[in-house]
Structure 1
C-alpha cells in the first residue's frame, strides 16, 4: 500500500510540473518540465532525506555525544522492532522533531535542542516514538518526497512568473496567473491530505511503541504552546517541509485550519487520552 501511495504522489506532482512547464513554454516547456520532474523523482527517492536534514542544519550525533538521547531512541527502536535510525539534533529553541528516510534501513530522526531542553524524558520518549511510528509505517519516504517536490514546484512557478509564460504559452496571461496561484496550492493540498491522515496513525502507533499514550499527549500540549511563540528560522525558509514535523513549526497560517498541514492538536490529544483510558481498562473491562 505504501508503494501505491508513493506512486500516486509522484504521478500527481509530475502532473503539476507538466502544467507549469506548459505555461512557461508550451509543448517544449511541457517536455522539459517532465524531464526535470523525472530527475527530481529519482533524486527525491535517493537523496531527499539528506537534503531536508541540510535545510534544517541538522547535525548527526553519536552515543558518545548525546548518550541519553541516543539510548532512548535505541530502546524505542527495539520496542518497535526497527533498526536504530541515525540520530540528529537541530540547534533551535523551538521544541519539535521529524523523521525522514526512504525505508527503515535508511532512516533518521531529528529533534531540536528546544525539545530536548524543555520536555521531560517521558515526553521526549513519546515524541520519538511518534517519529519511529512514521518510519515503521513507511510514511517517511512519502513525506520527504512531498517536501522536496513541493519546494521544487514553488521554484518552478517563480520561473513562470519571471518569464511571463514565454511566447509559446497556450494559456495566456490569465492561465499563467492561475497556474502561479493554483500549482503551489495543489501541492499544498497533497501535503495536507498526506500529513493529516498519517499524523493520527503515527500518534496511535507511537503510543503503542512507548506504551504510554499520555506521554505523547503531554508532549503535544507543551510543543504546541512553545511553538506558538518561538520561531524556527529554518522552517520559515523551507515551508514545504512543515508537514514533516510533529507540530506545525510555521507561524504563517498557523491559525487557519483550512491551510494547516497538521490535524488539530486538541483532537490528537483527546484521541491519545481516550487510548490511555482503553489501555488502563484493558480488554477485560
Structure 2
C-alpha cells in the first residue's frame, strides 16, 4: 500500500510540475517538464535519501561510535525486526531527528547533536524507536520523495516568477502568478495530509518498539521546546524536508507555517500517555535491557 501511495504522490507532483512547465513555455514546456519529471522520479526513488542527508550535511557514524548511538539503534532495530539502518549525525544545536530511505534494506536514521546533548538515554531510545517505526511502516519512501519533489516544484515556481511565465496563455498574468503560488502550496498540502496520520502511527509503533510510551512522550516535549527556540539553518534553507523530522524544525521565517505538517505535539503526547495508561505504564519488552551503559538517566554530554 505504501508503494501505491508513493506512486500516486509522484504522479500528482509530476502533474504539478507539468502545469508549471506549461505556464513557463506552453505545450513545449509540458514536454520538457515531463522529461524532467521522469528523470526526477528515477532520481528521487534511487537517490533522494542521499540528497536529503547531503542537504543537512549529515555525517555517518560507524559501529562502536563514542556516543554509543549505533549500539542503541542496533538493539532497537532488532526489537523492530528490521535490518540495521545506517546512522548519521547532523551538527546543529536544534534537537531533532529523521529517518530516510526507500525501503528497510536501504534506510538511515539521522539525529542532531542538539538531540544527543539534551535527551536522556530513555528519551533518545523513544525517538530512535519512532524513526525505526517510520522505516518499518515504509513511510520513509513517500517522505523522502515528497521532500525532493517539493523542493523542485518550489524552485520551478520561483523560476516562473522570475521570468513571468507565458503572458499570452489563457490564464493570463493573474493566473500565472496564482499557479506559481498555488503549486508549492499544493505540494505542502500533500505533505500535510501524509504527515499528520503517519506521525500518530509511528508514535504508537515506536512506543511498542522501545517498550515504554512515556519515553517518547517526554522526548517530544523536550524536543518541542528546543525546536521552538533554536534555529535549524539547513531546514530553513530546505523547508520541503520539514515533514521528515520528528518535530517541525521550522520557525524562523514567515513562510514556515506553510510547511507545518506535524500534528500538535500536545495531542501526540496525550495519545502516548493514554497508551501508557492502557498498558499499565510499566516498561515492557527487551529495550530497557539494551540501553547503553551510562545512559540510564540525564542528558548525554
SS where residue 5 of structure 1 aligns? helix
Distance 1:79 1:254, change over 3 A: farther
Provide the rounded CA distance (Å) in 2 between the counterparts of 1:253 and 1:280: 43
Aligned to 1:174: 174
- In the other structure, the counterpart of 1:33 is 33
Aligned to 1:88, the other structure's residue is in SS state strand
Length, aligned pairs only: 281
Q: Indicate the SS of the match to 2:147.
A: helix
TM alignment of 1:86-165, pairs within 5 A: 86-165=86-165
1:44 maps to what in 2? Answer: 44
Would you say the 8 A contact 1:24–1:168 is kept in 2? no
**8 Å CA contact 2:55, 2:238 repeated in 1:** yes
Distance 2:259 2:9 in 1: 19
| Gap change, CA 1:221 and 1:50, over 3 Å in 2 | same
Distance 1:253 1:72, change over 3 A: farther
Q: Pick closer, same or farther for the CA change 1:187–1:130 going to 2, 3 Å.
A: same
Q: Name the structure 2 match of 1:196.
A: 196
Q: C-alpha displacement at 1:167, in angstroms?
A: 6.0
Partner of 1:240: 240
**TM-score for both structures, normalised by structure 2:** 0.90
- Distance (Å, rounded) in 2 between the aligned partners of 1:94 and 1:107: 23
Give the Å deviation of 1:85: 0.2
Distance 2:225 2:162 in 1: 40
Q: Give 1:187 deviation, angstroms.
A: 0.4
CA positional deviation for 1:172: 1.6
Structure 1 unaligned regions, length at least 5 = none
> What is the Cα deviation at residue 203 of structure 1?
0.3
Does the Cα contact within 8 Å between 1:77 and 1:84 map onto a contact in 2? yes
- CA-based RMSD of the aligned residues comes to 1.6
Task: Using structure 1 for the length normalisation, give the TM-score.
Answer: 0.95
- CA offset at residue 170 of structure 1? 3.9
Provide, for residues 138-181 of structure 1, a one-character-per-residue CA deviation record: whole Å limited to 9, x for no partner. 00000000000000000111111122113664422111111111
Shift in Å, 1:74: 0.3
The residue that corresponds to 2:12 in the other structure is 12
Q: Find the counterpart in structure 1 of residue 69 from structure 2.
A: 69
1:98-130 CA-partner distances (Å, limit 9, x unpaired): 000000000000000010110000000000000
Instruction: Evaluate the alpha carbon distance shift between residue 122 and residue 281 of structure 1 in structure 2; reply closer, same or farther with a 3 A threshold.
Output: closer
Deviates more, 1:154-163 or 1:37-46: 154-163
SS in 2 for 1:280: coil
